[in-house]
Chain A
Amino acid sequence: MSTGDKQDFFDKPENIRRILRTFYGICALLFAADFLVHRHTEHGWEGLPGFYPLYGFVGCVVLVIIAKWMRTFLMRPADYYERLELGTEDSTVAAAAEQSGGHSNGGQEHV
């Protein structure tokens, strides 16, 4: 526990390096275990050595890359819905919306 400027565990780069090195070691051991331990499998692909580690790694990288790509067309400003729903829009946006006649008190949001 810390107060003030005391350096905490994860503030020290050597601690992080040590943890990462242990982590890489465990990963290597787990990968190697595939060739040493006989697994009983129910499925063709499942029996391939390194299937689970590769699937986990590739799956997560693909997941993150697709998610990042999704941001390009899904991301909107944080007040995207509020502007309309709560009428908290700033005056320039408000003017554009008000002009069209519908007052934005959000009550008509629900059908």
Chain B
Amino acid sequence: MFEVAPFIPFFVAALLALVLRGWPRALVMIAVPLLGLANLWMLGAGSFGAYSVLEFDLLLFRADKLSLLFGYLFHIAALIAIIYALHVRDTLQQVVSLLYAGSALGAVFAGDLMTLFIFWELLALTSVFLVWARRNGRAYMAGLRYFTLHILSGLLLLGGIIFYAQSHESLAFGQIGLDDNPYSWMIFLAFGIKCAFPFFHNWLTDAYPESTPTGTVFLSAFTTKAAVYALARAYPGTELLVYIGATMACFPIFYAVIENDLRRVLAYSLINQLGFMVVGIGIGTSLAINGAVAHAFNDVIFKGLLFMSMGAVLHVTGRINGSELGGLYKTMPKTTVLCIVGAASISAFPLFSGFVSKSMVMSAAIKNGYDWVWLILLFASAGVFHHAGIKIPYFAFFAHDSGIRAQEPPTNMLVAMTIAAALCLAVGIYPQALYGLLPYAVDYTPYDVTHVLTQLQLLFFSALAFVWLNLRRLYPPELPSVNLDVEWLYRRLLPQAIRGTVAAAFRLDGRVRRAAVAGVGNLMESVASHHKPDGVLARSWLTGSMVAGVVLLLGVYLLLGFAL
């Protein structure tokens, strides 16, 4: 049988998209994820494409249930994002988005660390063009920062692989686990940067909101989920991940509440959702891993839907700040409804997709004795409803009427959002379809009285808090502002420190030069002063004074003669 690795169709289509224009290009772009999905379905679990570089045996394609799930997911996400971007007439964006999706598939099916590394770098290299495609100064700078951090992640991975190869016969990509070896930490950190661990998370909140309306939809789907896959493959059951994940679930919601750029709110909420997945991987039981992976699946769809609805708002109004929007439901009812479906899914309302996966991670946390982590996750669940579930739709579509009367976005955008919304509902209503694809057998029923009741209580009373705070005018207003985060270190402190050092060096240099010039001037002046009219050496001397000098000299001789 003729076997094609899943990334190849995307790379070939990218080449075709480079030369095609108009509807043939659109046709190719839509066909690729569909054909790719069929191809992947036929391939199923297994491996092929062994090749060797130096003395290492490498493997291009290795699929088990874990990688297959991410493979299906990436095809679906690519299809939705491609439809969403069909109206775009920008060869750069369309070509790199195909390359980017292909790289994500290559990474997920990489059988060894070296192949993973190649696709890891390709992910960074292709996705940065989606940021730059906005073609303004802010996007250019954000893209450079994004690229720098991702290259750093790639270098750490490469360094880790080199150490790994010294102590292992094979480079097969499997369980690594944290131990005393430096390679385990280097690879862990490489994955962590891409997964937006705390202190390394600002590339996400920095670059994603600066991308184009369509580019962000691609970006939100692949990079972080490839990192989640890599963590689930190499570090399941690492306890440290539980605490990292709990932090990730918790701190971004505070930023999300006060952030004004609604796509940046979604970027913070993306980190919050990643936190749930990282906790699941850290717990490492079959229920927890299933929950993490299922949540990754759902998150790509509903976060994509939310980014699409905000992208649509940005596309038709040219604005994305909460302080400038409001009242759009009047002229964009379809987008409003689709956004609310995404908001309900991310908030984990029963019958929506978030509910059936987030609860798996929460159950796993409490079953394994992580009581405090469970409380933090519960707080994060309430918080995510607060900022992503209510704030996003409320400030964009309701709140005060901004006076903007924008029309609905192009049909292709609405179609893409409708597909995503349908998937959110389908998974929420019939979770067994998703559960069947999970890596471990699922013995979990999300819909029982306790679960539904407690979740509804949590959500409704979170909403009550929002209503109460709003009526009492305690809710922080949307303000055009920048909120300081870790990025301040490398966006403000470091440049200023460098600038300060350079300035100080220049000042010192200037001072030394000035002193030297003044010194030379003084010397010249003093030499010249002896030769100037009336200078000591230019004066005309009296004969008498010379005789006096000779007498003095002779006197000295005489004295010396007596003394010796």
Contacts and interface: CB of A to CB of B under 8 A. Distances in A.
Interface of A: 1-3, 8, 10-11, 20, 23-24, 26-27, 30-31, 33-34, 37, 39-43, 46, 52-61, 63-68, 70-71, 73-82, 84-86, 88, 97, 100-102, 104, 106, 108-111
Given A64-B476, A71-B483, A75-B258, A57 B383 contact: no
Contact of B498 (A10, A43, A58, A108): A108
A100 B491 CA distance: 18
A67 B374 CA distance: 22
A98 to B, nearest CB: 10
Interface class of chain A by DSSP: helix
Contacts of B330: 1-2, 8
B141 A100 contact: no
A101 B481 contact: no
B527 interface: no
Nearest to A100: B503
B482 interface: yes
10 contacts: A46-B454, A68-B476, A81-B482, A84-B492, A84-B495, A84-B496, A100-B500, A100-B503, A101-B506, A102-B498
A59 B383 contact: yes
A77 B379 CA distance: 30
Contact of A64 (B257, B457, B482): B257
Contacts, number: 195
A75 B460 contact: no
A10 B333 CA distance: 13
B331 interface: yes
B482 A57 contact: no
Interface stretch (B39-47, B157-165, B307-315, B465-473): B465-473
B463 interface: yes
B457 A31 contact: yes
Contacts of B496: 84
A42 B449 CA distance: 14
A37 B448 CA distance: 12
B482 A53 contact: no
B476 A102 contact: no
B506 A27 contact: no
B157 to A, nearest CB: 20
Contact of A102 (B366, B460, B463, B502): B502
Contact of B398 (A3, A10, A33): A10
A38 B468 CA distance: 29
B491 A109 contact: yes
Contacts of A78: 260, 480-482
Given A33-B453, A108-B498, A111-B148, 6 more contacts: A60-B465, A61-B469, A63-B386, A74-B484, A102-B499, A106-B141
A110 B490 CA distance: 8
B11 interface: no
Given A53-B461, A60-B386, A75 B495 contact: no
A97 to B, nearest CB: 8
Contacts of B367: 42
Interface in B402-461: 405, 449-450, 453-461
B454 to A, nearest CB: 5
Nearest to A82: B138
B48 interface: no
A57 B383 CA distance: 10
Contacts of A74: 258, 483-485
B530 to A, nearest CB: 41
B286 interface: no
A81 B491 CA distance: 7
A1 B492 CA distance: 46
A23 B138 contact: no
A46 B457 CA distance: 12
Nearest to A33: B453
Contacts of A55: 378-379, 382, 458
A85 B141 CA distance: 8
B258 to A, nearest CB: 5
Contacts of B507: 101
B528 interface: no
B491 A57 contact: no
Given A27-B464, A67-B258, A78-B482, A60 B383 contact: yes
A43 B383 contact: no
Contacts of A33: 453, 457
A12 to B, nearest CB: 13
Nearest to A26: B460
A29 to B, nearest CB: 9
